[in-house]
Structure 1
Amino acid sequence: MIVWQGPITTDNSGVNPAVVCDPASGTDFVIGITNVTCTAVDGFGNVNNCSFYVDVMDNEDPVLESCPANLTTNTDPGQPTAMIEWQGPIATDNSGFNPTVMCDPASGTDFLIGKINVTCTALDGFGNVNKCSFYVDVKDIEDPVLVSCPANQTTNTDPGQPTTMVVWQLPIATDNSGLNATVMCDPASGTDFVIGKINVTCTALDGFGNVNNCSFYVDVKDNEDPVLESCPANQTTNTDPGQPSAMIVWQLPIATDNSGLNATVMCDPASGTDFVMGKTNTMKILRWCPALQIK
């Protein structure tokens, strides 16, 4: 509402003419420039006028309501992004015209993993601006994918050793994030594996703590014969007095094995047996002591 004083009129008749302004003082003027004409008319129909303008400026920012709340979501399956859509915000303006509202990034954008700020701006027709903001936090909770996991392996010990070194190609890991996942195996490739079946677990870890694993086994066989040392020499002896036989005693051979375990040594016939007259072959039998095998 605009109020003004004047204008003041005088007239040669000595009577002050009436003055009317259009629009009148006290009128509500809309935004923009409005011309006002004030007219003086004396009692004899003589007229004069003057004019001015009223320029109403809009310096009031728009009002933003219903700004979206912060959003936390997961990546789309198999993707390093998530498409995010939202409603609002709503903008009103004292001018009565709907302001333009734009968000950066816009609703419907594919957001990368991480936290990204979104700023929404309302702009009215007179250059006045208001803003609100929120964030979009895209989480990666998708496990890496492991391919080419090694097959189960069966092998023999290295010559003279209780172990064998086993080497394999690491599994290949891919991740929806597009980043390389770390792959580790336990035990690691190149480890010396002892006799027996051992499970190997390979684990892929992405940069966001997501894990996947695969497993296989390494079965190390001992197919190497024990080694016999100090085998008794051939023996020639006489029968015991008055007997058709002679009791023969000897020291058992010494046996070593690549496994590092004790080997059982038995002779057939055994030391201390009564041997009858004639030549008898003695066989040495070796075997591992089962109680000491490593599983």
Structure 2
Amino acid sequence: MIKCPVDMSFVDHDGDGSVTVSYTLPNATDDSSDVTVTCDQESGTSFTVGTHTVICIAFDAFGNTDTCTFTITVYAGVMITCPEDIEIVDEDGDGSSVITYTIPTINEDTANATVSCDPPSGSSVGVGSHTITCEAIDISGSSDTCTFVVTIYELPEITCPVEMEIVDEDGNNDVVVIYTIDTNANSADTTVTCNFPSGSSFAVGSHTIECTAVDSFGNTATCTFNVIIYALPEITCPFDMELVDVNEDGNEVVTYELPTPNNGSAAATVTCDIPSESPLSVGEHTITCTITDAFNNSAECNFTVTVYAPPDISCPEDMEFVADSADGQVSVIYTTPSPNANTADASVTCDKPSGTPLGVGTHIITCTITDAFGNEDTCNFTVTIYAPPDISCPEDMTFVADSADGQVSVIYTTPSPNANTADASVTCDKPSGTPLGVGTHIITCTITDAFGNEDTCNFTVIVCPPPEISCPDDLEFVADAADGQVYVTYTPPTPSQDKPGTKVTCDIPSGTLLGVGTYNITCIITDAFGNEDTCSFTVIVVNAPPDISCPKDMEFVADSADGQVSVIYTTPSPNANTANASVTCDKPSGTPLGVGTHIITCTITDAFGNEDTCNFTVTIYAPPDISCPEDMTFVAASADGQVSVIYTTPSPNANTADASVTCPPPEISCPDDLEFVADAADGQVYVTYTPQRQVKTNQVLK
């Protein structure tokens, strides 16, 4: 008896027209345990959109059968299509409109899909763009969405600017007027036209501009405004004027004619910030006159009235310079006196102009100012040129201290000031007689004159200590394997101080060839004064360090799974030139080892305790051992039928060396060819022979 699954349904979510369906093979029961079930459309088959009937058959070993059926329905995945975007004008201007649209369509073969939209058709929405979202969903929960836009526009509105008043600034009676017309933001693609577009040129006078707004549905709105162009008032001032303060009281009266308005200005008036007949002080005065018309447009002009003062001059303070050398000169730079303020084109000259080279000494310079009217004034100042300070130090000096931390009182002649300096004095940072310790000392002497000018010189005092020497640390070298010697090299000791005439010698120089042994090397330092110091260090020459190499890894097979193998190998030998080296291994050659992996470590040790180690691996495998399954019996389907015999291939036993198991097919061999003689009576004979069979272990012949 066979029982099919219940009917099944699926949705083609990816939209490729088919769905791969997996189901559980129907359950079949029978008195015989050998029941086979097959279905005409197997689990895992790809089913197209539609309803498909699956037929399943169960049959037992005796040919008995039973069938059952179930259906597989594949629904198309939901797909929804929205209408085109919609545009509406709010005709009544109340800020909202009712939207009506066709419900979106869905594809065929869906699983009872339904459609809903948000907001639904018939809803009232405000001015602006609104996204309508529609969703189709089938009974399986599969869904699809689409969107479209409904835009509500306002009727067009237009706003003109306020009346514009513009002055013809360049006076060419052709003024370009720029303006902006505003429309409401939510109208439908509104365009604006004006009888005089923005950027048009206008002559002086009043002009009316009318503008119209039209939206994409033909709705209109209009507005008007005025543009007035005014002429710019103009004014011309008198020429510049020059006066002399003849009374030298700082109040000279200025008299001029008031400028008149230009023709064409509207009721213009003229005012000046300094009226005619005003008293003016010495200096330059700018008078500004302004014309203002009835529309508050204005223009200005300026003219200058200059009141001059008599010339007056002031010289610089007396000056002092230091020449570059005792017989040198100085290019004396000073600021030439400037004419006093408000003089009439005054100029200044000096008998020794700024930049004139002057020698050592005192010089009187006279400067004169002269104005455009020939008036003059003079002044004087003094320039003094001094010789520069110059100093020379003693030669460098060398002293020897009594000890490494001793001092020497250094005596030298302090340098004297050079001639022609101004009250110069000399100081040295380390005066003569100063105690100085071991080392190099730079003494700086400075000459300073009364004006703070300086010169310096330096000389060196070296205070040397008695000689000291420091040897290198003890050294160790490995002798050459061939002759047991090595060239011993080291850095020769250096003096603790670098001073002239010092030399260092060692009784075994660096680079000497030495054999195995211990050597004491002594080094001596001697300075130019015959003082000495010594040091020593030890050099040890030893044989080569121990080095060991193990045999290659080894593999053996034991006699039984729990047996052992006496592992024989060649013990590693000490390398050449080692100091009485010996070799030991933690598992000596001949040691019995059981099945498994064994790491053998060998160590070489010389007479000085230096060591080296190596390792190798010995693997002991178990002999192969196999166990076959129990004998098996099968029944063929018919007298001449066959049976496919299924059994578990035996596994290799543990710890064998990469063992594998094979079961070869049976083999048979026939007897040699035979010859028989037929019976004389009936011409026949019974033919007999012995079958020759060769059977492999655990195989059954059919």
Q: Which TM-score band (shorter chain)? A: 0.3 to 0.5
Higher relative contact order (CA 8 A, sep 6+): 1
TM-score, normalization by structure 2: 0.19
| Larger-gyration structure (1/2) | 2
